[in-house]
Amino acid sequence: MDVRFDQPCSARSRRGWVTAGVAGLLLAASPVQAAWQLLAPESRVTATLTEITAEGRQPHTHHIDHLQGTLGTDGTLRLPLRLSQTDVMKHIGPLPAWLQEMATTPLVTVVTEFDPQRLDALKVGESLTDTLTLRIDGNGEPRRESLPVHFTRKSRDRIRLTNAEPVTLDGQALMDNSVARLVLQMLGYQRIDDAVPVALDAVLVDAPAGP
């Protein structure tokens, strides 16, 4: 007796397998869902610049406010920085219409990597410290900076980021960078001290899951 159990699939079964395969491809191609997101109203960088003039040295404090970026489940954080986030607008007033687009166009983009699972593992009140490598690209002039960051879980869905230790940028390197020099000149600086202390104060919130 010839007994066969491997009967051909019906048309309905084949359609089911095709549908499942297409769904799998779409899931694989879907954009990475965000894991943590910067809370813009509570996220800023503060820099202290010492202006050097014929009259002497005068320190000034400036901010980059409303930091915006997401730390995806792939561990990548992209942070675009725009002129509208700086003190320039307060210093020079509203830009003419033909320059307004410049205020909202990213001048530089900062990219770093950090495993979000390490944040997920923090219990409320716990902290961790790590040094992030920042890749900064603006106007085709890439550079790297190191930033020691202290992560503290304040609640189930909030983590605060601050400097783990004092951080100082090279003032001369800032003046040599075309994008940074443009912003500094718009603020009225011609010469600054070589040491520019910076401080990070930001909040990450648990981003809602995608559909």
Q: Residues 161, 80, 76, 203: what is their CA dihedral angle, to the nearest 10 degrees?
A: 20
Structure tokens at 101: 């687009």
Q: Which residue has the higher pLDDT, 139 or 187?
A: 187
What pLDDT score was predicted for residue 208?
65
Q: Which residue has the higher pLDDT, 88 or 148?
A: 148
Q: Residues 37, 38, 41, 44: what is their CA dihedral angle, to the nearest 10 degrees?
A: 180
Interval 159-183 mean pLDDT:
91
Look up residue 98 and give its amino acid.
W
In contact, 207 and 36? CB cutoff 8 Å? yes
What pLDDT score was predicted for residue 3?
38
The model's pTM is: 0.77
The contacts of residue 19 (CB under 8 Å, 6+ apart) are none
Q: Which residue, among 6, 151, 141, has the nearest Cα to 71 in the 3D structure?
A: 151
Is pLDDT above 90 for 128? yes
Is pLDDT above 90 for 139? no
Domain ranges of the chain: 33-206
What pLDDT score was predicted for residue 157?
95
Is pLDDT above 50 for 33? no
pLDDT tens-digit series, residues 47-102: 999 999 999 999 999 999 999 999 988 999 999 999 889 888 777 777 777 777 77
Which CATH architecture best describes the domain 33-206? Beta Barrel (2.40)
Is pLDDT above 90 for 140? no
Q: Which residue has the higher pLDDT, 11 or 160?
A: 160
Interval 22-27 mean pLDDT:
38
Structure tokens at 167: 């951080």
Is pLDDT above 60 for 197? yes
What pLDDT score was predicted for residue 186?
85
